[in-house]
Structure 1
Amino acid sequence: MSEDVNVDVEYLTRVEGHGNIKVDVEDGNIEKCEWQVVETPRFFESMVVDKPWTDLHHITSRICGICSMAHQFASLKATENALGIELSEQDELLRRLGYHGEQIQSHILHVGYLALPDLLNKQSVLPLASSHTEEVKTVIRLHRLGNELSKTIGGRDTHQQRLIPGGFSKIPSESELEQLKEKLESSFDDLDACVEFLEGLASELPDFERETEFISITADDEYAFYDGNLDSTDTGTEKIENYKEYTNEYIVPQSTAKYTKHNRESYMVGALARLNNNYEQLHPKAKEVAERFNLEPVCHNPFMNNVAQVVESVHCIEDSIKLIDELLDRGLESQPEYKNPEAELSEGRGVGVVEAPRGLLIHDYTYNSDGNCTEANCVIPTNQNHGNIQKDMEDMVPQILDKPEDEIELNLEMLVRAYDPCISCSTHYLDVEFVD
């Protein structure tokens, strides 16, 4: 065991936002072990107050440039629930389809560009463009496919402008859906190549487990991304409206983002949590990929979150083809060239929940009779994962103190990156009390 260790990672790389890793060991005693979130807080919950119901989803999509559609969908669902706006079956199918695009592009971005260099002992993806050219090209094609799917449904690949309360301002044509289906069907060779490459590197994933609680949404008839009830591996299911009984946000000294806890000191959200809670709803091809990595519920190795992201990418492509077939078989119902949102305004509160790529995302709005927001609350996936990262780190450090200091540092960096944190998203709110 190393008697003295000093790990001081300031502004961890290959994550979104700013976070530090601090570990001090003196004479074999762990004096400090902290995951520090130092990102400047942003105030989106205040930004939307007094804004009209037609604007909130466009504002909140700017919380993140990677999962902007997730924020839009959670926002739209909260507004629609608050104001009693109904969605047609066609629009719901289109939303689910578009949402798969964001899952694919975000998962492939993380696994291919941010996590993969660790498994190949590289500092970034740039050297891999020379050493693993074909593999990088495969990642780029799959990432581009996810972007194209989001763009076809939402109008562009980030901060989509076609999404409105009650549906879409503009919908794709049947020919666009047919072209998209062809590209999705052609992607399986790239998916297989990606899976095979990652399978060959699976032994590089640290063998670390810490039993924890996993929370996601779940549904009986589908692998839940867009709709469902809250589900915990510890306590079972709960209605979405009671989300505060699950999230229980609190403040810690080393973080500008709130932490959360439910049945234990921390819990995990994200791809691994969804897989643990919804494994039986995976499409057969996705389940085959999981089996190749011996990934089955309940898995407590956080590093397998990266594998779960690949499994979900396969599922999303399979399900996207199924959704397109359903839409084409139904025939697209026409709508005006540009459709404006409509609602009968009244006071109301609504909660919208979706599974963002990084996990459970909640928007909660209250509106007055003029349709202006009077109060908002957003609970972010990474917000919910910070506590679990901290507890994993506390458990992992004693197990790896026999390694050289640079390996300890790498293992801790890989641990944080395994969660695919969006740190900026999580520093969304701060209470300030002025004292005379």
Structure 2
Amino acid sequence: MKDLSLSVHHVTRVEGHANITVDVRKGEISELKLEIVESPRFFEAMLRGRSWEDVAHITSRICGICAVGHTTASLRATEVALDLVPSAQTVLLRKLIIDGETMQSHLLHVYFLVAPDLLGVGSVIPLAATHPEVVKRALRLKKLANDICGVVGGRAVHPISMVVGGFTRIPMAPELEGLRQRLVEAMPDLEATAELIKALPLPRLENPTEYLALKNQAEYAFYDGDIASTDGDITPVKDYRQKIRETVVEHSTTKHVSGNRQSLMVGALARFNNNHEQLHPLAKKVARELGLRSPCHNSFMISVAQVVETVHAAEDAIMAIDELLGRGLKDEPIKVPVKAGSGVGAVEVPRGTLYHEYSYDSKGLITDSNLIIPTGQNMANIEFDLRAILPQILDKPKEEIAHTLEMVVRAYDPCISCSTHLLDVRFV
């Protein structure tokens, strides 16, 4: 029976800083921890006393990768609190920029963080020499996704034109027409991306859990819906606290989350398992070709689900642009009725379901807030997967064990800096 002591400082090719600590005695796991060592960032405390006009621009800084998602969740929470219903044009533009961010993030993860593992190199840098066409394709697609966010949001990161009730600037028709043409022209690159991930050897890790995602009968949900579980229950977003239970753990500045079970998963694979029938046609075809079937319990297939969602987002962006151009773009006056109120906004960001909850006083100033980040929701399940795969690889060399455990963490595409969230802030 094998003994093993292992410490990985730090897990590489993830956003933020995390360690893995393992202790095995006589073949039994006595300790396994995914340690999050970053300091809490106190965004909830920062929001206290801030005006409704400022909140979305502040919370977008939680994450440069998911800035659109944080902005959108924030705007939706504020609009619910103030009883403000955005226009159809505003909703379409928000969906379009979410498509852009989904493509941005998934492409970054698949090409730059996962592919090096599967191609046997330490980072994307050697790929530029050995597989230049792969790197150039990744950069072309990433540039297109950046430009979608830039046209709609005013810049590629931390959008400035998205505000409560609408947009300060509406894209011009020629800008959207140009994006549409580039999206059509990008389809061969997206199909080549699917071929790449199909050719790469993904490890197997069959470890069923509870999968949560927003669900909307009208579409593959990113912008709006109820909280759906593969265990069969549906929860309204306003009641998310009844579904999402947070627990402080000693070894992490990120809280662990549970639902019906001791852990749960959110993100691309969770969305696929809940909503796969609502994918657009080409995305469905790609899923079939890549062997992605629901329910899928292999966490290493998250990157495959991300490729499928990237294709879906490109199709969805074309459809959103067509509808916007068909309706005719127009400037819309924004009137915000400032009053006391509370609201929850939830959207699907690349890594999973993001929740923002705010309470405002009669002057429109924040009195209380709660933010639940997707990576925080996944953290307990990552440890669950680490415990599941470790017995399968104990006979391997120590370096290979460490590398495989890192791959499990990387599979989730964690955004660790966003998820540090320790204090229960009470405003008085």
TM score, norm. by length of structure 2 = 0.98
Question: What displacement does 1:31 show?
Answer: 2.4
Give the Cα separation in 2 of the matches to 1:432 and 1:256.
Answer: 15
Output the amino acid matched with 1:154. G
2:238 is aligned to 241
1:324 is aligned to 321
Task: Pick one of 248, 253, 276 that aligns with 1:256.
Answer: 253
Give the Cα separation in 1 of the matches to 2:82 and 2:424.
Answer: 28
1:425 is aligned to 418
What are structure 1's unaligned runs of at least 5 residues? none
Give the Cα separation in 2 of the matches to 1:429 and 1:67.
Answer: 20
Question: Residues 202-227 of structure 1: CA distance to partner in whole angstroms, max 9, x if unpaired?
Answer: xx211111110000101111000000
Question: What displacement does 1:26 show?
Answer: 3.1
2:300 is aligned to 303
Q: Secondary structure at the match of 2:247?
A: coil
Question: Residues 173-197 of structure 1: CA distance to partner in whole angstroms, max 9, x if unpaired?
Answer: 0111101100100101111111111
1:414 is aligned to 407
Q: Secondary structure at the match of 1:216?
A: strand
Question: What displacement does 1:263 show?
Answer: 0.4
Question: Residues 238-271 of structure 1: CA distance to partner in whole angstroms, max 9, x if unpaired?
Answer: 1110101111111111111111101000000000
Question: What displacement does 1:36 show?
Answer: 1.0
1:205 is aligned to 202
Output the amino acid matched with 1:161. I
Question: What displacement does 1:429 show?
Answer: 3.8
Give the Cα separation in 1 of the matches to 2:29 and 2:240.
Answer: 36
Task: Pick one of 377, 380, 384 that aligns with 1:387.
Answer: 380
Give the Cα separation in 2 of the matches to 1:29 and 1:250.
Answer: 26
Give the Cα separation in 1 of the matches to 2:190 and 2:39.
Answer: 38
1:354 is aligned to 347
Question: Residues 392-420 of structure 1: CA distance to partner in whole angstroms, max 9, x if unpaired?
Answer: 11111112112221221111111000000
Contact kept, 8 Å, 2:44 with 2:425, in 1: the verdict is no
Between 399-408 and 103-112, report the one with greater CA deviation.
399-408
Structure 1 residues 432 and 215, CA gap change in structure 2 (3 angstroms): closer
Q: Secondary structure at the match of 2:292?
A: coil
What are structure 2's unaligned runs of at least 5 residues? none
Matched, 1:342 2:339: no
2:392 is aligned to 399
Output the amino acid matched with 1:375. D
Contact kept, 8 Å, 1:271 with 1:309, in 2: the verdict is yes
Structure 1 residues 429 and 252, CA gap change in structure 2 (3 angstroms): closer
Contact kept, 8 Å, 1:6 with 1:24, in 2: the verdict is yes
Contact kept, 8 Å, 1:212 with 1:300, in 2: the verdict is yes
Give the Cα separation in 1 of the matches to 2:291 and 2:196.
Answer: 16
Matched, 1:14 2:32: no
Contact kept, 8 Å, 2:183 with 2:318, in 1: the verdict is yes
Q: Secondary structure at the match of 2:246?
A: coil
Matched, 1:374 2:367: yes
Contact kept, 8 Å, 1:218 with 1:278, in 2: the verdict is yes
Give the Cα separation in 1 of the matches to 2:345 and 2:421.
Answer: 17
Give the Cα separation in 1 of the matches to 2:174 and 2:421.
Answer: 40
Structure 1 residues 432 and 79, CA gap change in structure 2 (3 angstroms): closer
Q: Secondary structure at the match of 2:371?
A: strand
2:282 is aligned to 285
Give the Cα separation in 1 of the matches to 2:166 and 2:246.
Answer: 32
Output the amino acid matched with 2:412. Y
Question: What displacement does 1:333 show?
Answer: 2.0
1:33 is aligned to 32
1:65 is aligned to 64
Give the Cα separation in 1 of the matches to 2:422 and 2:155.
Answer: 28
Give the Cα separation in 1 of the matches to 2:152 and 2:228.
Answer: 29
Give the Cα separation in 2 of the matches to 1:116 and 1:26.
Answer: 33
Contact kept, 8 Å, 2:149 with 2:157, in 1: the verdict is yes
Question: Residues 151-191 of structure 1: CA distance to partner in whole angstroms, max 9, x if unpaired?
Answer: 01000001000000000000100111101100100101111
1:126 is aligned to 125
Give the Cα separation in 2 of the matches to 1:169 and 1:334.
Answer: 9
Question: What displacement does 1:431 show?
Answer: 4.0
Question: Residues 284-305 of structure 1: CA distance to partner in whole angstroms, max 9, x if unpaired?
Answer: 1101111112111110001100
Q: Secondary structure at the match of 2:394?
A: coil
Q: For 1:184-223, what aligned pairs fall within 5 Å after superposition?
A: 184-201=183-200, 204-223=201-220
Q: Percent of pairs identical after alignment?
A: 51
Contact kept, 8 Å, 2:49 with 2:366, in 1: the verdict is yes
